[in-house]
Amino acid sequence: MSHAAAILAGPVYGGYQYAYPHKTAYRPLTRPVPLREVWAEEPKTGLFLYVHIPFCPMRCGFCNLFTLTRGEGRVGPYLDALRLQAETVADQLGTLQVARMAIGGGTPTFLDPSDLDRLFYDLRTTFAASPTLIPTSVETAPGTTTPDRLAVLRAHGVERVSIGVESFRGDETRAMGRPQSRDAVEAALRAIRDARIPVLNIDLIYGAAGQTPARFLDSVEAALAWEPEELFLYPLYVRPLTGLGRRDGAVEGDGAWDVRRLAIYRAARDRLRAAGYAQVSMRMFRRGPEATWGPAYDCARDGMVGLGAGARSYTAALHYSTPYAVGQAGIAEIVADYVARDAVRHGRADYGARLDDEDRRRRFVLMHLLQSAGLSLLAYAGRFGTALLDDLPELASLVEAGLATLDGGTLTLTEAGLERSDAIGPRLQAAGTRERMRAFALR
């Protein structure tokens, strides 16, 4: 069976390939490596700075993110540790320029306004990273999207706020383990618009128990009423150690669930296109041009510096972070260890994954192919000095099966291919990386 035939025969929703390799492929490094050594040969003029705030008011039933629901009394010590890490990392890396910044979680707006203000101050004085100078995104949730917090974001020049609405229907949010009122959601969206944040992104999740295309379109229409600049459509996954994972019901790989999710996705995709949104990837839809201000940044070429427990950093050869966990006890242990670290430990990488030549090639392919703009064969050859289809001949079968086109030197997923991104991505992982991920013991 060809590569494409296996994709067509298997589940549509195999797994979300948002990063490669996933942190389940990370392991303790043979020896801790000073960050000065890790970054010695890396370009540092266009870095992505990611800051992780691992606190939330509640744990949603579908969530497997690195976050704690018991943040009371932890925020101050955590921000102290983050400041120390930022000072240490900036010193280790030396001269650098941040081109993009994102603050995620967790829920960054779990922080009260004074703590948010402190966070931006610390990032500006350690990394010279200010939202007034670089495009910056902050994640939020309905219950913490308050005018006083948004005033801080606006005062610091934050360009983009991404809010996890998931659904405007109470029956669906309850089914997903995310109880929230429609009034609270609408109030949060009004507050964002009143704060005049330039870019509003709304996240929606499809595939909840009992959901139909018509019901999901109710949420799509409610989101469109706010004229968001961006919309993300996320398929629901049921993962181990989550609230939904402990319930009876839909199981990943179930054929009927695949069919239902795909039907919902297609209906929402078509509605967003009709509303004037361009599809950027399987999940992302954008109205209007992408922001191009600030220093140049290429996610497939430039590195990332992660600050905070759970944040990943990457260079071409090494991806590293704190250890990974999903359960609350495991996350709490990792956060406590992070807060207790001294400058010596913050100044080295001790847990991660080294990327060999095959991993680097596959990562480059995944970062481009799963985007609607496609993968340039010339860019690939310029990066690696070899021909794409010589290195990954299985990609030719995508064209033969109608999942991709090869036109003008660009390999681009078709509509049928783009909607199978969660099947194509996992199959492009290197065998060794996939095996490490499979062998990882979740906690």
Task: Look up the CATH number of the domain holding residue 156.
Answer: 3.80.30.20
**Domain-located, residue 65:** yes
Give Dmax (Cα) for the chain: 58
Look at residues 271, 286, 301 and tell me which one is the last residue of a structural domain.
Answer: 286
Task: Look up the CATH number of the domain holding residue 430.
Answer: 1.10.10.920
Domain interval for residue 372: 357-439
| Crossing angle (nearest 10°) for helices 377-384 and 357-369 | 160
Supply the pLDDT for residue 40: 96
From first to last of its 443 residues, what are the pLDDT tens digits of the chain? 687 888 988 899 998 988 899 999 999 999 999 999 999 999 999 999 999 999 999 889 888 889 999 777 899 999 999 999 999 999 999 999 999 999 999 999 999 999 999 999 999 999 999 999 999 999 999 999 999 999 999 999 999 999 999 999 999 999 999 889 999 999 999 999 999 999 999 999 999 988 999 999 999 999 999 999 999 999 999 888 888 887 755 444 468 999 999 999 999 999 999 999 999 999 999 998 777 778 888 887 889 999 999 999 999 999 999 999 999 999 999 999 999 999 999 999 999 999 999 999 999 999 999 999 999 999 999 999 999 999 999 999 999 999 999 999 999 999 999 999 999 999 999 999 999 999 999 88
- Burial state string for 106-115 with b = 16 or more CB within 10 A and e = fewer than 16: bbbbbbebeb
Residues 261 and 409 reside in one and the same domain = no
Look at residues 223, 253, 286 and tell me which one is the last residue of a structural domain.
Answer: 286
**Domain-located, residue 347:** no
For 121, 181, 256, 375, the CA distances from 22, given in Å and listed in that order, are 31, 34, 27, 21
Residues 268 and 362 reside in one and the same domain = no
**Domain-located, residue 207:** yes
Q: Cα 105 from chain centroid?
A: 10
Residues 215 and 123 reside in one and the same domain = yes
Residues 89 and 213 reside in one and the same domain = yes
Q: For residue 169, give the amino acid letter.
A: R
**Domain-located, residue 275:** yes
- pTM score, two decimals? 0.96
Helix (H) or strand (E) holding 38: helix 35-38
**Domain-located, residue 323:** no
Taking Cα atoms as reference points, which of 13, 26, 11, 38 lies closest to residue 66? 26
Supply the pLDDT for residue 4: 84
Residues 165 and 261 reside in one and the same domain = yes
Supply the pLDDT for residue 389: 97
**Domain-located, residue 226:** yes
Residues 122 and 220 reside in one and the same domain = yes
Strand-pair category, 47-53 with 27-34 = unpaired
Residues 109 and 227 reside in one and the same domain = yes
Supply the pLDDT for residue 254: 62
Residues 91 and 212 reside in one and the same domain = yes
**Domain-located, residue 218:** yes
Q: Which residue has the tokens 């060809």?
A: 2
Supply the pLDDT for residue 252: 45
Task: Measure the CA–CA gap between 372 and 173, rounded to whole angstroms.
Answer: 30
Residues 386 and 244 reside in one and the same domain = no
Residues 233 and 376 reside in one and the same domain = no
Given CA atoms 425, 65, 350, 130 in this order, what sign does their dihedral have?
positive
Supply the pLDDT for residue 250: 43
Looking at the structure of the chain, the number of domains it has is: 2
Supply the pLDDT for residue 300: 78
pLDDT of 164-218, one tens digit each? 999 999 999 999 998 899 999 999 999 999 999 999 999 999 999 889 999 999 9
**Domain-located, residue 245:** yes
Look at residues 286, 306, 341 and tell me which one is the last residue of a structural domain.
Answer: 286
Residues 398 and 281 reside in one and the same domain = no
Residues 104 and 241 reside in one and the same domain = yes
For 202, 205, 224, 233, the CA distances from 217, given in Å and listed in that order, are 14, 11, 10, 11
CB 331 within 8 A of CB 402: no
